[in-house]
Amino acid sequence: MAHTLATAPIMILNGPNLDLLGQRQPEIYGSESLADIEALCTETAARHGGTVDFRQSNHEGELIDWVHEARLHHAGIVINPAAYSHTSVALLDALNACDGLPVIEVHISNIHRREQFRHHSYVSLRADGVIAGCGVQGYAFGVQRVAALAG
Ligand code: DQA
């Protein structure tokens, strides 16, 4: 049975190098840290009566294991796959195994205004919505959208 915000947390997944947010290329990704984003997501989910399970990994397989976990135990997924967006068929396959689960893809930067290799995202082939170029606020939009889809 599908989870709602009342019965399960939203899984928020962050891919490689996002642990360095605030220090890494601040001219592109801004000065806020991943801890700041977690606080924003927690606050946004709470306004919708929900909670978040906020994680980051530099390892593709770990992200895939967490998608499998979300498939059974979470109300939806907000994912910033970072560079794996552009490379990972395995992550796409994992998301494709999540029938009916709301999935929102977030990118802090506008990937379409950047290098050509960032214009394509495998994850977008499964995502119900894609937010790019809204800075860290994109995570709040993602949480709001999962809340709307999951109920
Ligand atoms: C990113 C964009 C990706 O192209 C890049 O590899 C990242 C972050 C973003 O949030 O803008 O690491 O997903």
Q: What is the pLDDT of residues 66-106, one digit of tens each?
A: 999 999 999 999 999 999 999 999 999 999 999 999 999 99
Q: Give the pLDDT confidence score for residue 51 in this predicted structure.
A: 98
Mean pLDDT of the chain: 97
For the domain that residue 85 is a member of, what is the CATH number? Answer: 3.40.50.9100
**What pLDDT is attached to residue 28?**
93
Instruction: Measure 130 CA to ligand 1 centroid, in angstroms.
Output: 13
Q: How many domains does the chain have?
A: 1
Please give the pLDDT value at position 81.
98
Instruction: Look up 107 and say whether it is catalytic.
Output: yes
Residue whose tokens read 């977690």: 38
* Residue span of the structural domain in which 98 resides: 10-150
Q: Answer whether residue 1 is part of any domain.
A: no
Tell whether 115 is covered by a domain: yes
Looking at 74, 84, 107, 122, which residue is catalytic? 107
Residue type, 137: Q
Residue 86 resides in a domain: yes
Is residue 85 assigned to a domain?
yes
User: Is 86 among the catalytic positions?
Assistant: no
Q: What is the pLDDT of residue 65?
A: 98
DSSP code per residue over 54-91: EEE-S-HHHHHHHHHHHHHH-SEEEEE-GGGGGT-HHH
Intervals of the chain under pLDDT 50: none
- Rounded to two decimals, what is the model's pTM? 0.97
- Answer yes or no: is 4 within a domain: no
CA 28 to chain centre: 18
Q: Is residue 57 part of a domain?
A: yes
